[in-house]
Amino acid sequence: MKAIADHFGLRYSMVRRSIKKIRDPGHDSLLVIAKKIKDSSEVIRAAWASAENSYSQIADHFGLFFATVRRIVRQRR
């Protein structure tokens, strides 16, 4: 998972925690899951910038932990 985190420019802990929460991970390889996390990060940042969404609403929508969403939003600053 560390190599995947490095490849996609994500924190290892974010990958590890998010993999536990991404819906239906049984059919996806770790690379596909990491790509989903990266794509979700970009969408989450856009959602946060363009609307008044709470961290918990965004976390519920993407199936991520509250703390993961908060970290993603803060990284863009």
- Residue 24 domain boundaries: 2-75
Percent of the chain with pLDDT over 90: 0
Is the predicted pLDDT of residue 46 greater than 70, yes or no? no
Please state the pTM of the whole predicted model.
Answer: 0.36
Q: How many folded domains does the chain comprise?
A: 1
Rg (CA), the chain: 12
Contact in structure between 2 and 46 (CB atoms under 8 Å): no
* pLDDT band at residue 59 using 50, 70 and 90 as cut-offs: confident
Instruction: Evaluate whether 30 touches 4 at the Cβ level (below 8 Å).
Output: yes
Beta strands in 1-77 (DSSP E): none
Crossing angle of helices 12-21 and 30-50, in 10° steps, is 90
Question: For position 66, what pLDDT does the model report?
Answer: 80
Dist. CA 62–CA 13, nearest whole Å = 17
